[in-house]
């Protein structure tokens, strides 16, 4: 891929200065982010926090849907005593460039660092019938498995509709789906979501030799 410029995103700074949090007994980390427990409760048991202000606490990520989701949990815990724990194990992400990028779960490097025996496959979108049919075959889909259990640990996709397709992968990770769950599920043909089935098939077959109706 060729480009004229490279954008380097250096992160965000929390807007917590001058709020009197220290006086209220709300502990911050070295970068100024609010520390929270799994219930999004701060070091002051009467104060809860969620969203960008907590940084990466409890595995959180600075993204609008994460803040919206966790805000509801924090409000329920603070006002209704819901005692609901936050869970950031599965957070789908997208970057709206051209072609768009989307991912969920672990990369192969992260999986290996976490102690998994990793197995991965990458399939170009030229092997996805829908992508070829609509002349949008620029990109790829990659799947990361635990080699022993065959559980899907992560998916990355670059290409048209990637931010939409990634939700199927996110739901699969949430319920700890395996490679066979993708290959056995009937996908609408032809769709971009079928890329997930094709990359799952690539662990056991040469998908470049499969016969597709669109061809």
Domain that holds residue 149: 93-209
Residue 118 contacts residue 147 (beta carbons within 8 Å): yes
How is residue 14 annotated by DSSP? -
Is 37 within the bounds of a domain? yes
On whether both 46 and 130 belong to a single domain, the answer is no
Query: Residue 38 to residues 30, 33, 70: CA-CA distances in angstroms?
Result: 20, 15, 11
On whether both 99 and 205 belong to a single domain, the answer is yes
Is 215 within the bounds of a domain? no
* Burial of 10 from C-beta contacts in 10 A (0-12 / 13-18 / 19+): exposed
Of 88, 106, 124, which closes a domain? 88
Q: How many residues comprise the chain?
A: 215
Tell me the per-residue pLDDT of 10-51, one tens digit each, with 9 for 90 and over.
778 898 999 999 999 999 999 999 999 999 999 999 999 999
Strands (E), 80-176: 93-95, 101-105, 118-124, 140-146, 152-158
Of 26, 58, 88, which closes a domain? 88
What CATH number is attached to the domain comprising 23? 3.50.50.60
On whether both 145 and 191 belong to a single domain, the answer is yes
Tell me the per-residue pLDDT of 64-116, one tens digit each, with 9 for 90 and over.
999 999 999 999 999 999 999 999 999 999 999 999 999 999 999 999 999 99
How is residue 85 annotated by DSSP? P
């Amino acid at each position: 891929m060729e480009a004229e410029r490279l954008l380097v995103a250096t992160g965000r700074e929390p807007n917590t200065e001058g709020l009197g949090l220290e006086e209220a007994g709300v502990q911050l980390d070295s970068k100024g982010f609010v520390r929270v427990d799994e219930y999004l409760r701060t070091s002051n048991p009467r104060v809860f926090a969620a969203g960008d202000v907590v940084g990466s606490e409890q595995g959180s990520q600075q993204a609008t849907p994460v803040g919206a989701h966790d805000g509801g949990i924090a409000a329920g815990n603070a006002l209704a005593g819901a005692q609901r724990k936050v869970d950031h194990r599965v957070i789908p992400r997208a970057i709206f460039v051209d072609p768009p990028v989307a991912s969920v779960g672990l990369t192969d490097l992260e999986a290996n660092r976490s102690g998994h025996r990793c197995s991965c496959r990458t399939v170009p979108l030229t092997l996805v019938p829908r992508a070829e049919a609509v002349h949008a075959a620029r990109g790829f889909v990659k799947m990361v498995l635990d080699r022993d259990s065959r559980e899907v640990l992560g998916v990355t996709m670059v290409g048209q509709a990637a931010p939409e397709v990634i939700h199927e992968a996110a739901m699969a990770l949430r319920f700890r789906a395996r490679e066979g769950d993708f290959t056995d599920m009937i996908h609408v043909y032809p769709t971009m979501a079928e890329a997930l089935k094709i990359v799952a098939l690539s662990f056991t077959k040469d998908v470049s030799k499969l016969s597709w109706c669109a061809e």
